[in-house]
Structure 1
């Protein structure tokens, strides 16, 4: 796994009324600090990739829908530089995924329904000087094939 990436399995406590689940707690020691929480939805088939940050870590959670999440380590000096990780996240696999600064990340919505993402960052978004570095979804260096391989 890419150095610094953390995966936390989410535990659902269910009863006849529904369910409750804790996403992130201060005693999980996942985020160095808390900056912002955000919520987004993407339609089926949408690819949102790639970008990375120089200052902030991201913590992603998909409470509904399904997503193929791709990470690529860009960090100079990292023992996992150039490594790619793929995670399948969503309502059937409720996990938290910590994405360290310097690791490019993106996702593709899978299935017939939209996917919702809730994400936490260690820094608040700065409109005047955004910590968002963009890389095309089909970047040759990353070389990720976003198509589903039917078997």
Structure 2
């Protein structure tokens, strides 16, 4: 994957498995990666093709997503007025373990192309605590 993306602060990293006797681990995120400035919540998401898809905009929360299994299309749209990449969009199809950063103010969503898909979601702030968080339909170009 390229080192430069059309959205400022976007970070994407392939997750490499480590195989040990009877175990396969996918080290996903470490403090030394310096991606999240604080911790708000974590969840595991299991979803299927044809699930309702929306883009979410978080007012202050950065999010890290990790695709664990499945084939997913990710979609980012930079809605930060002061960003050098304001209004840029980026789509990425992934079918192997991948780590992604979603900066605050960037609309983000995913849809399962072949499923089911399992994802890990980490965020700097809990959901529902900032009135500036909102969703927009996938089809609408924000």
Deviation string for 1:55-108 (max 9, x for gaps)? 10110011121110000001102111111111223xx42111000001001111
RMSD: 1.7
Contact kept, 8 Å, 1:47 with 1:107, in 2: the verdict is: no
The structure with the largest strand share of the pair is 2
Residues in 1 aligned to 2:130 and 2:90: alpha-carbon distance in whole angstroms: 29
Residues in 2 aligned to 1:3 and 1:71: alpha-carbon distance in whole angstroms: 11
TM-score, L = length of structure 1: 0.82
When structure 1 is superposed on structure 2, of 40-49 and 69-78 the one drifting more is 40-49
What SS does the corresponding residue of 2:32 show, helix, strand or coil? helix
What SS does the corresponding residue of 2:137 show, helix, strand or coil? coil
For residues 52-91 of structure 1, the aligned pairs below 5 Å read: 52-89=57-94
Residues in 1 aligned to 2:133 and 2:81: alpha-carbon distance in whole angstroms: 18
Where in structure 1 are there 5+ consecutive unaligned residues? 143-151
For residues 57-136 of structure 1, the aligned pairs below 5 Å read: 57-89=62-94, 92-111=95-114, 113-126=115-128, 129=130, 132-136=133-137
TM-score, L = length of structure 2: 0.87
Query: CA 1:36 to 1:131, structure 2 compared with 1: closer, same or farther past 3 Å?
Result: farther
Where in structure 2 are there 5+ consecutive unaligned residues? none
What SS does the corresponding residue of 2:92 show, helix, strand or coil? strand
Deviation string for 1:14-44 (max 9, x for gaps)? 2452411211111111111111111111112
Residues in 2 aligned to 1:119 and 1:102: alpha-carbon distance in whole angstroms: 17
- Which one has a bigger Cα radius of gyration? 1
How many residues matched? 137
